[in-house]
């Protein structure tokens, strides 16, 4: 906020006798019915004078009933009675993700706290409800973040999930400093496994991108986990979906044509594979409209570096995952069986050109920069100025380090004609630096 094939049984939540949504699991004690067959002795009737001080009967505490404004459809529950919330881990459109600790066990998790004030429409509320349902439905599967529980109070909905402490996928690849086709195949296999599980269990993800995958731990062979299901839906058989969702670089052409099904997830996974092998997305432009036009009409580039040195088997898989006709596109199951991708397949252990890592680093940095620039100064700069800011950072970052100095930023913004105050420039600098160096 921030974020795993048969159905696994959901693990016990371990939250003091409540299920995943906080309802009590305790059974009512059995009552022994009276016997009506044996003769009953006649009771002796006696007069008992009223007591001077009648016993005080404690009031019955009735839990608050769900009201029309609750999202989870259950009484309010304070997440802080079960978990201690710690430092902020991330911030999104609707809320904040915190590090949290289960009070009873000391186990560490992540808690995404979603502000109800920002859920301004019925659709927003339904989206949050559906995301929680899907996370609970998929929990326990490989490569999917573990769901722990959902709580609601007057101001927020809190979603507690597995803490993925290993960081983002691209960060790990870049930090390692060397890279092979076999490593790319291992990563792609985990991504496609998420697609396969989702489709098998009746879910369409709709927003696959590298930022939505985190590593479970900092260990070398940590499992990759899908963490964000905010745009996911339960698949309705025979229904064609029409709303445009997802992130520009990863959107399938049929999404732009407003008639699509679950095949879009394989396309998005194919875009991720293209980036893993080349460091850049297959369809590139300076504007969202330009990206969409390229997705609909341009041919995939297999001529530029490093593609001449990439194996034919890898290129074959990319082509089949990025087939514009969804009927000709491979299914997730077929992708997992492809000779290049399957375990023990023919993916080469030969190092990929180091320029791929440099491009991947720049692509990641520019994405984070654009996101932070939009968050911090969207109300002050127009689209052309944002484009200029992005180009300015690219020009200044001559060593591809992903950083520039405060004075360089201030001078560059002045050249753009920006009216940002000194405080706003500092805010932008802090935001960008913290995100590029995390």
Report how far residue 270's alpha carbon sits from residue 268's, in angstroms, rounded to the nearest whole number. 5
Domain locations along the chain: 79-162, 169-352, 370-437
Superfamily of domain 79-162: Phosphorylase Kinase; domain 1 (3.30.200.20)
Q: Take residue 391 and report the two structure tokens written for it.
A: 């180009």
- The pLDDT of residue 175 is 80
C-alpha torsion 379→170→149→261, nearest 10: 80
The candidate with the shortest Cα–Cα distance to 145, out of 227, 211, 202, 214, is 227
Report how far residue 75's alpha carbon sits from residue 23's, in angstroms, rounded to the nearest whole number. 9
Q: Which long-range contacts (CB under 8 A, 24 or more apart) does 21-30 make?
A: 21/72, 21/74, 21/149, 21/150, 22/72, 22/74, 22/77, 22/149, 22/150, 22/151, 23/74
The candidate with the shortest Cα–Cα distance to 360, out of 171, 167, 168, is 171
Q: Take residue 290 and report the two structure tokens written for it.
A: 């330009």
CB 281 within 8 A of CB 211: no
Report how far residue 384's alpha carbon sits from residue 380's, in angstroms, rounded to the nearest whole number. 12
CB 236 within 8 A of CB 270: no
- The pLDDT of residue 339 is 97
C-alpha torsion 119→124→130→132, nearest 10: -20
The HSE-up count of residue 125 (CA atoms within 13 Å, CB side) is 13
Is the entire prediction scored with pTM above 0.75?
A: no
CB 291 within 8 A of CB 317: no
Question: Which runs of E-coded beta strand occur in 192-337?
Answer: 203-204, 213-215, 224-226, 233-234
CB 294 within 8 A of CB 283: yes
Neighbouring-strand partners of residue 114: 95, 157
Active-site amino acid positions:
207
Report how far residue 137's alpha carbon sits from residue 160's, in angstroms, rounded to the nearest whole number. 15
C-alpha dist (Å) from residue 306 to 272, 322, 355, 415: 16, 18, 8, 36
CB 372 within 8 A of CB 425: no
- The pLDDT of residue 380 is 52
Q: What interhelical angle do 354-377 and 422-437 show, nearest 10?
A: 150
- The pLDDT of residue 197 is 97
Residue 112 labeled ligand binder: yes
Pick the CATH number of 169-352 from 1.20.140.10, 3.40.50.150, 1.10.510.10, 3.40.50.2300: 1.10.510.10
Q: What interhelical angle do 312-321 and 181-200 show, nearest 10?
A: 30
Query: Percent helix, strand, coil in the chain (nearest 5)?
Result: 40, 15, 50
CB 273 within 8 A of CB 188: yes
Report how far residue 339's alpha carbon sits from residue 345's, in angstroms, rounded to the nearest whole number. 5
Q: Could you say which residues of the chain have pLDDT below 50?
A: 1-66, 377-379, 398-399, 434-438
């Amino acid at each position: 906020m921030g974020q795993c094939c048969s159905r696994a049984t959901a693990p016990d939540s371990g939250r003091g006798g409540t299920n995943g949504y906080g309802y009590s699991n305790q059974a009512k004690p059995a009552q022994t019915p009276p016997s009506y067959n044996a003769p009953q002795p006649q009771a002796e009737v006696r007069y008992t004078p009223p007591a001077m001080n009648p016993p005080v009967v404690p009031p019955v505490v009735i839990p608050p009933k769900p009201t029309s404004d609750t999202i989870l459809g259950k009484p309010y529950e304070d997440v802080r009675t079960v978990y201690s919330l710690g430092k902020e881990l991330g911030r999104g459109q609707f809320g904040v993700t915190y590090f949290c600790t289960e009070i009873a066990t000391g186990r560490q998790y992540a808690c995404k706290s979603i502000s109800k004030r920002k859920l301004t429409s019925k659709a927003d509320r339904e989206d949050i409800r559906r995301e929680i349902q899907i996370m609970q439905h998929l929990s326990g599967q490989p490569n999917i973040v573990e769901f722990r529980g959902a709580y609601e109070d007057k101001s927020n909905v809190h979603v507690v999930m597995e803490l993925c402490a290993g960081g983002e996928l691209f960060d790990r690849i870049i930090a390692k400093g060397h890279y092979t086709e076999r490593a790319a195949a291992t990563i792609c296999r985990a991504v496609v496994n998420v697609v396969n599980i989702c489709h098998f269990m009746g879910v369409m993800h709709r927003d696959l991108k590298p930022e939505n995958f985190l590593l479970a731990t900092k260990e070398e062979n940590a499992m990759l986990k899908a963490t964000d299901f905010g745009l996911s839906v339960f698949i309705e058989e025979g229904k064609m979906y029409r709303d445009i969702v997802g992130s520009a670089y990863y959107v399938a052409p049929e999404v732009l044509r407003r008639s699509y099904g679950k095949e879009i997830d394989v396309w998005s996974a194919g875009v991720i594979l293209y980036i893993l092998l080349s460091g850049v997305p297959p369809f590139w432009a300076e504007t969202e409209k330009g990206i969409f036009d390229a997705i609909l009409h341009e041919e995939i580039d297999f001529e530029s570096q490093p593609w001449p040195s990439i194996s034919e088997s890898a290129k074959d898989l990319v082509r089949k995952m990025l087939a514009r006709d969804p009927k000709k596109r491979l299914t997730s199951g077929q992708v997992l069986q492809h000779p290049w991708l399957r375990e023990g397949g023919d993916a080469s252990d030969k190092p990929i050109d180091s320029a791929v890592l440099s491009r991947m680093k720049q692509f990641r940095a520019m994405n984070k920069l654009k996101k932070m620039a939009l968050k911090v100064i969207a109300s002050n700069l127009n689209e052309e100025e944002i484009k200029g800011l992005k180009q300015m950072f690219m020009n200044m970052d001559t060593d591809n380090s992903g950083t520039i100095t405060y004075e360089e930023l201030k001078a560059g913004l002045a050249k753009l004609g920006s009216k940002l105050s000194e405080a706003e420039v500092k805010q932008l600098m802090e935001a960008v630096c913290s995100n590029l160096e995390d």
